[in-house]
Structure 1
Amino acid sequence: MIKCEDVLIIGSGVAALQLATMIDTELNVKIITKSSLRKSNSYLAQGGIAAAVGPGDSPEKHYIDTLEAGAFHSDEAAAREIVQEASDLISGLGPIFDRDGEGHLQLGLEGAHTEKRIVHSGGDATGQHVIEALLAKLTPHVQIEENIFAYELLMDHDQNRCIGVKGKSADGSIRHCFARHTIIATGGCGQLYSFTSNAQTVTGDGIAVAYLAGAAVADMEFVQFHPTLLYQNGMAKGLVSEAVRGAGAVLVTEDGTPVMRGIHPLEDLAPRHIVSQTMFDLIQSGQHVYLDISKIDQFEKRFPSITALCAKNGISISDGRIPVAPGSHFLMGGIKTDLKGQTTVAGLYAIGEAACTGFHGANRLASNSLLEGLFQGKRLAEWINNHDDQTSITPDLKRTSIYKKLPVPDIQTLQASMMANVGIVRSKEGLTRQKQWFDSFQLNEVRDLDAYTISELTGFLMGVTASLITKAALKRTESRGGHFRADFPFEDDQHWLKKTIVQTNKGEVRVKDERIKAAIKH
Structure 2
Amino acid sequence: MSQYDCIIVGSGIAALATAAEICEKMSVLVITKGSIRDSNSSLAQGGVAATISKRDHWKAHFEDTCYAGRFHNLPEAVELLVQQGKLDIEQLIQNGMTFDKDANGHIHLGMEGAHQQPRILHAGGDATGRKLIQFFIERVNKNVTIMEHTMVTDIHVVDNRALGVWISGENQQERYISGKHIVLATGGCGAIFDVTSNSPFVTGDGLAMAYRAGASLVDLEFTQFHPTLLYIEGTCKGLVSEAVRGEGAVLVDDEGRRIMKGLHPLEDLAPRDVVARTIQKVRADGREVYLDISMISQFSERFPTITKLVSNAGLSLDRKKIPVAPGMHFLMGGIRTDLFGRTSVERLYAVGEVACTGVHGANRLASNSLLEGLVFAKQLANVLRQPTRDSNEKFKENNKYVMKTLHLPKKMEIQQIMSRYVGIERDETGLRKALHFFEQYVNQTSFFQCNVKRFTKEEVELLNMVTVGWLITKAALKRTESRGGHFRTDYPNEVSHWLQKRIPSSLKQQLEVS
Q: Fold match, TM over 0.5?
A: yes
1:252-263 alignment, distance < 5 Å: 252-263=252-263
Classify the secondary structure of the residue corresponding to 2:300: helix
1:468 aligns with 2:471: yes
Equivalent of residue 454 in structure 1, options 454, 457, 462: 457
Moved more, 366-375 or 393-402: 393-402
CA offset at residue 466 of structure 1?
Answer: 1.1
Aligned residue in 2 for 1:477 = 480
Equivalent of residue 103 in structure 1, options 102, 105, 110: 105
CA offset at residue 400 of structure 1?
Answer: 8.2
CA offset at residue 164 of structure 1?
Answer: 1.3
CA offset at residue 493 of structure 1?
Answer: 10
1:117 aligns with 2:116: no
Asked if 2 retains the 8 angstrom alpha-carbon contact of 1:21 and 1:139, the reply is no
Residues 6-60 of structure 1 show CA distances to partners (whole Å, capped at 9, x for unaligned) of 1000001000000111105231111111111001000010010000111310000
Residues 432-485 of structure 1 show CA distances to partners (whole Å, capped at 9, x for unaligned) of 000011000026442121121111111110110111110000000000000000
Equivalent position amino acid for 2:145 in 1: Q
Classify the secondary structure of the residue corresponding to 2:343: coil
Instruction: Give runs of ≥4 in structure 1 deviating > 3 Å.
Output: 397-402
Asked if 2 retains the 8 angstrom alpha-carbon contact of 1:24 and 1:385, the reply is no
Question: Which structure dedicates a bigger proportion of its chain to helix?
Answer: 2
- Pick closer, same or farther for the CA change 1:260–1:5 going to 2, 3 Å: same
CA offset at residue 318 of structure 1?
Answer: 1.1
Q: State how far apart, in whole Å, the 2-side matches of 1:361 and 1:34 are.
A: 28
1:478-493 alignment, distance < 5 Å: 478-491=481-494
Q: State how far apart, in whole Å, the 2-side matches of 1:237 and 1:21 are.
A: 33
Classify the secondary structure of the residue corresponding to 1:366: coil
1:347-366 alignment, distance < 5 Å: 347-366=347-366
Q: State how far apart, in whole Å, the 2-side matches of 1:273 and 1:182 are.
A: 34
Unaligned runs of 5+ residues in structure 2 are 498-514
Q: State how far apart, in whole Å, the 1-side matches of 2:141 and 2:36 are.
A: 15
1:14 aligns with 2:13: yes
Aligned residue in 1 for 2:503 = none
CA offset at residue 3 of structure 1?
Answer: 3.6
Aligned residue in 1 for 2:4 = 5
Q: State how far apart, in whole Å, the 2-side matches of 1:284 and 1:472 are.
A: 26
Q: State how far apart, in whole Å, the 2-side matches of 1:230 and 1:283 are.
A: 14
Moved more, 441-450 or 464-473: 441-450
Moved more, 45-54 or 382-391: 382-391
Aligned residue in 1 for 2:63 = 64
Equivalent position amino acid for 2:158 in 1: D
Q: State how far apart, in whole Å, the 1-side matches of 2:414 and 2:388 are.
A: 43
Classify the secondary structure of the residue corresponding to 2:107: coil
Aligned residue in 1 for 2:135 = 133
Q: State how far apart, in whole Å, the 2-side matches of 1:147 and 1:24 are.
A: 21
Q: State how far apart, in whole Å, the 2-side matches of 1:409 and 1:206 are.
A: 20
Aligned residue in 2 for 1:173 = 173
Equivalent position amino acid for 1:285 in 2: D
Asked if 2 retains the 8 angstrom alpha-carbon contact of 1:27 and 1:141, the reply is no
CA offset at residue 491 of structure 1?
Answer: 2.6
CA offset at residue 163 of structure 1?
Answer: 0.7
1:391 aligns with 2:391: yes
Classify the secondary structure of the residue corresponding to 1:85: helix
Q: State how far apart, in whole Å, the 2-side matches of 1:201 and 1:3 are.
A: 25
Aligned residue in 1 for 2:512 = none
1:418 aligns with 2:418: yes
Q: State how far apart, in whole Å, the 2-side matches of 1:398 and 1:359 are.
A: 35
1:115-514 alignment, distance < 5 Å: 115-138=117-140, 140-157=142-159, 160-397=160-397, 402-442=402-442, 444-491=447-494
Q: State how far apart, in whole Å, the 2-side matches of 1:100 and 1:141 are.
A: 35
Moved more, 387-396 or 26-35: 387-396
Q: State how far apart, in whole Å, the 2-side matches of 1:156 and 1:394 are.
A: 10
Q: State how far apart, in whole Å, the 1-side matches of 2:197 and 2:226 are.
A: 8
Asked if 2 retains the 8 angstrom alpha-carbon contact of 1:480 and 1:490, the reply is no
Asked if 1 retains the 8 angstrom alpha-carbon contact of 2:442 and 2:467, the reply is no
Classify the secondary structure of the residue corresponding to 2:493: coil
Classify the secondary structure of the residue corresponding to 2:492: coil
Q: What is the CA RMSD across the aligned residues, in angstroms?
A: 1.7
Asked if 1 retains the 8 angstrom alpha-carbon contact of 2:212 and 2:448, the reply is no
Equivalent position amino acid for 2:397 in 1: L
TM-score, scaled to structure 2: 0.93
Q: State how far apart, in whole Å, the 1-side matches of 2:438 and 2:245 are.
A: 38
TM-score, scaled to structure 1: 0.92
Aligned residue in 2 for 1:48 = 47
Asked if 1 retains the 8 angstrom alpha-carbon contact of 2:224 and 2:485, the reply is yes
Asked if 1 retains the 8 angstrom alpha-carbon contact of 2:97 and 2:135, the reply is no
Asked if 2 retains the 8 angstrom alpha-carbon contact of 1:30 and 1:143, the reply is yes
- Pick closer, same or farther for the CA change 1:399–1:35 going to 2, 3 Å: farther
Q: State how far apart, in whole Å, the 2-side matches of 1:56 and 1:400 are.
A: 58
Unaligned runs of 5+ residues in structure 1 are 495-522
Q: State how far apart, in whole Å, the 2-side matches of 1:239 and 1:475 are.
A: 31
CA offset at residue 302 of structure 1?
Answer: 0.2
Asked if 2 retains the 8 angstrom alpha-carbon contact of 1:69 and 1:365, the reply is yes
Residues 53-103 of structure 1 show CA distances to partners (whole Å, capped at 9, x for unaligned) of 113100000000000000000001100111001122112323411112322
Q: State how far apart, in whole Å, the 1-side matches of 2:255 and 2:65 are.
A: 35
Equivalent position amino acid for 1:134 in 2: F
Q: State how far apart, in whole Å, the 2-side matches of 1:114 and 1:239 are.
A: 24
- Pick closer, same or farther for the CA change 1:398–1:85 going to 2, 3 Å: closer
CA offset at residue 221 of structure 1?
Answer: 0.2
Residues 133-169 of structure 1 show CA distances to partners (whole Å, capped at 9, x for unaligned) of 1111115331111111111110123xx2011111111
Q: State how far apart, in whole Å, the 2-side matches of 1:181 and 1:284 are.
A: 48
Moved more, 94-103 or 79-88: 94-103
Classify the secondary structure of the residue corresponding to 2:72: coil
Equivalent position amino acid for 1:300 in 2: S
Asked if 1 retains the 8 angstrom alpha-carbon contact of 2:224 and 2:329, the reply is yes
- Pick closer, same or farther for the CA change 1:178–1:493 going to 2, 3 Å: farther
Equivalent position amino acid for 1:459 in 2: L
Aligned residue in 1 for 2:506 = none
Residues 266-321 of structure 1 show CA distances to partners (whole Å, capped at 9, x for unaligned) of 00000000000011111111110000001101000000000000000011111110
Q: Percent identity?
A: 47
Classify the secondary structure of the residue corresponding to 1:92: helix
Equivalent position amino acid for 1:40 in 2: S
Asked if 1 retains the 8 angstrom alpha-carbon contact of 2:400 and 2:449, the reply is no
Asked if 1 retains the 8 angstrom alpha-carbon contact of 2:186 and 2:354, the reply is yes
